[in-house]
C-alpha cells in the first residue's frame, strides 16, 4: 500500500510530507523514521493512492516516476 507520512522538526512549526510504500502503517512509520535526520518526528501516517503523487512529491522508498503530459 501507499501511505503519506507527515513529519516535522521538534523546533519548527512547518510540517513536511512524503509518500512511502509499506505493508502496514507501522512499517511505513519505521521506514520514514529510519530516513529522517535527528530531531525530526513522524506526526501522521495516512493511506494514500498513486494518483496523489505529483512530479514535485517526495517519495521515500521508491522512485517518483510521475510526469505531466501537456496536450
Domain limits at 28? 2-52
Is 38 domain-assigned?
Answer: yes
How many domains does the chain divide into?
Answer: 1
pLDDT at 6 over 90: yes
Is 39 domain-assigned?
Answer: yes
Q: What is the pLDDT of residue 12?
A: 86
pLDDT at 69 over 70: no
Q: What is the pLDDT of residue 10?
A: 86
- Taking only the tens place, the pLDDT of each residue in 11-63 is 888 999 999 999 999 999 999 999 999 999 999 999 999 999 999 999 999 99
Sequence-ordered list of residues with C-beta below 8 angstroms from that of 39, at least 6 positions apart, any chain: 9, 10, 11
Is 71 domain-assigned?
Answer: no
Is 63 domain-assigned?
Answer: no
Please state, in angstroms and rounded to a whole number, the distance separating the CA atoms of residues 30 and 67. Answer: 28
Is 43 domain-assigned?
Answer: yes
Please state, in angstroms and rounded to a whole number, the distance separating the CA atoms of residues 4 and 52. Answer: 9
Please state, in angstroms and rounded to a whole number, the distance separating the CA atoms of residues 45 and 10. Answer: 17
Amino acid at each position: 500500500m501507499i501511505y503519506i507520512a507527515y513529519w516535522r522538526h521538534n523546533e519548527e512549526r512547518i510540517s513536511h510530507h512524503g509518500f512511502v510504500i509499506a505493508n502496514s502503517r507501522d512499517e511505513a512509520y519505521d521506514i520514514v523514521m529510519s530516513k529522517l535526520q535527528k530531531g525530526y518526528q513522524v506526526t501522521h501516517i495516512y493511506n494514500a493512492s498513486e494518483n496523489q503523487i505529483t512530479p514535485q512529491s517526495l517519495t521515500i522508498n521508491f522512485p517518483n516516476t510521475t510526469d505531466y503530459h501537456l496536450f
